[in-house]
Amino acid sequence: MTVSKPRASDGFFDDVNYYFDQASRYTDVPSDVLAQIRMCNGVYRIRFPVVRDDGKIAVIEAYRAEHSHHRLPTKGGIRYAMDVSQDEVMALAALMTYKCAVVDVPFGGAKGGVRVDPRRASASFLQRLTRRYTSELIRKRFIGPDVDVPAPDVGTGAREMGWIYDTYKSQGPDTLNALACVTGKAMSLHGVAGREEATGVGAVIALQHFLSEPEDMKPLGLTPGLSGKRVIVQGLGKVGYHAAREVIRQGGSVVGVSVSDGALYDPDGLEVDAVFDHRRESGSLVGFPRAQVLANPDEVLEKPCEILIPAALEHQITRDNAPRLQAKVIVEGANGPVDPKADAMLREAGLAIVPDIYANAGGVVVSYFEWIKNLSHVSFERMTRRYQQIANDRLLGVLTRLTGRTLPPKDEALLLHAPTEIDFVRTALENTLAISYKRIRTRWKEQALPDLRTSAYASAIEKVGDAYVLDGIFP
């Protein structure tokens, strides 16, 4: 059964601007600059024909929104779903602007959407559609390494990014840097190690930062750290699957997961890889051993847990289900999963929310690394790895000579480890999220702001505002 939830408000973009307005009161950005920041600078709405597998023509509706050009290129995923709309891409593009600012990624925000159900379309149809959509974006300069760089979102992945790259390489104005026209590409197409899991892993890194402060845990009645905590993950796609795996890797227990047509709950903890394999092989969660199967995926959100990671879609937690949540902490793996009415109710009830513009920023951080790698045409470890190996080897030699002792094999292996691309990407991601968390938490406490979301928005608004004020406004 697929359950479609009514939205608390029809305006997702209004919701983002509601959070913006709340937070802007705590900044000293002038009101005329605020008015410019909160608008969506440009939306390209297209309808184009794609030949279906039966030879007939399907008319496809698609969008690309560029919310802010204060930094270029703009950046944001492309969503394939039947309910994409202009309002949705504008909201998601705005979130990208603020997210990039929170984690110091020098991009403006953008988002694309194509009205298609990728589960019902054949690969060849999707390829024709993706190539046509890309060529429409090229025609209007809504794609390019220096103007607007898409990435995967709901319903798209490395395969679609490969088609986009290939189309741009064939038709785009810039062949030298064509690789940097899109991120989230496969490794064989010069993607970057760690991009696929970056958003999910980043959400758990964000959670760990939140859980690390004893002072913040006290009002929630929680002990610091993830170890032993029960986590429910909504959505088992690119974000949710990797978040769930990372929760387990870091000592938490995933007691519930949901997908669009069902959910599983097991208070003793689910083996996420086994759940994933079971669904892939059988096409459903039904029949997964031991766990309770729930036909309505929304039910799992209300099961006992300490932490809830909504990682599916926007507007999943509304005033209708907010009072029934049992979690103490919500980590927004998805964009906009908690609407403003639910946000206020949850805050009142003492829950804490790690907001989307920080919690799911891991994806755009690593996309930024991929873009840099593609523009420099060299992988991160290529120029240093062998040198690092030699240097480590020399250090080990000196240590052994001076002490007259050999290191235990485990320590020797640690010392001799030469970094690969994933080491650079992962540590740079961790560093970025640590710095950003420190900044938004400090502001939250020092200014006594209502919550982390307000702090993250205020920080982002000031950075974008600074760009307008310091760069000046053309002409």
Active site residue ranges: 111
Distance CA 14, CA 20 (A): 9
User: In this complex, which beta carbon is closest to ligand NAD, that of residue 159 or of residue 385?
Assistant: 159
User: In this complex, which beta carbon is closest to ligand NAD, that of residue 309 or of residue 346?
Assistant: 309
Closest CA to 458 of 446, 443, 469, 472: 443
Please name the residue that has the structure tokens 């949540």: 325
The nearest distance, CB 420 to ligand NAD, in angstroms, is 22
User: In this complex, which beta carbon is closest to ligand NAD, that of residue 105 or of residue 449?
Assistant: 105
Amino acid at site 100: C
Distance CA 273, CA 241 (A): 8
The nearest distance, CB 68 to ligand NAD, in angstroms, is 17
Amino acid at site 84: V
Does 312 bind ligand NAD (CB under 6 A)? Our answer is yes
Among 49-57, 258-266, 284-292, 378-386, the segment contacting ligand NAD (CB under 6 A): 258-266
User: Which residue's CB atom is positioned nearest to ligand NAD?
Assistant: 237
User: In this complex, which beta carbon is closest to ligand NAD, that of residue 87 or of residue 216?
Assistant: 87
- Site for ligand NAD (CB under 6 A): which residue of 297, 340, 355, 465? 297
Does 455 bind ligand NAD (CB under 6 A)? Our answer is no
The nearest distance, CB 57 to ligand NAD, in angstroms, is 27
DSSP code at position 144: B
- Site for ligand NAD (CB under 6 A): which residue of 152, 256, 340, 355? 152
Cβ 162 vs Cβ 88: under 8 Å: no
Cβ 130 vs Cβ 160: under 8 Å: yes
CA atoms within a 13 Å half-sphere pointing along the CA-CB vector of 453: 28
The nearest distance, CB 294 to ligand NAD, in angstroms, is 10
Both tokens assigned to 100 = 């990039």
Closest CA to 237 of 319, 360, 343: 360
Both tokens assigned to 380 = 């991160």
**Residues near ligand NAD (CB under 6 A), total:** 25
Tell me, residue by residue from 2 to 21, as one string, x for binding to ligand NAD by CB under 6 A and - for no binding. -x------------------
Positions in 153-182 near ligand NAD (CB under 6 A): 153-155
Beta-carbon neighbour count of residue 402 at 10 Å?
Answer: 8
H or E element that contains 380 = none
- Site for ligand NAD (CB under 6 A): which residue of 74, 258, 432, 454? 258
The β-bridge partners of 464 are none
The nearest distance, CB 214 to ligand NAD, in angstroms, is 29
Tell me, residue by residue from 205 to 244, as one string, x for binding to ligand NAD by CB under 6 A and - for no binding. -----------------------------xxxxxxx----
Does 432 bind ligand NAD (CB under 6 A)? Our answer is no
Distance CA 399, CA 101 (A): 44
Does 366 bind ligand NAD (CB under 6 A)? Our answer is no
- Site for ligand NAD (CB under 6 A): which residue of 41, 74, 127, 335? 335
Does 360 bind ligand NAD (CB under 6 A)? Our answer is yes
Positions in 56-115 near ligand NAD (CB under 6 A): none
User: In this complex, which beta carbon is closest to ligand NAD, that of residue 164 or of residue 217?
Assistant: 164
User: In this complex, which beta carbon is closest to ligand NAD, that of residue 370 or of residue 421?
Assistant: 370
Distance CA 366, CA 433 (A): 11
Closest CA to 397 of 407, 388, 387: 407
How would DSSP label each residue in 415-445?
A: HHPPP-HHHHHHHHHHHHHHHHHHHHHHHHH
How would DSSP label each residue in 162-203?
A: HHHHHHHHHHSS-STTGGGG--S--GGGT--TTHHHHHHHHH
The nearest distance, CB 107 to ligand NAD, in angstroms, is 13
Q: Which residues of the shown chain bind ligand NAD in the complex (CB under 6 A)?
A: 3, 152-155, 199, 234-240, 258-260, 297, 311-313, 333-335, 360, 363
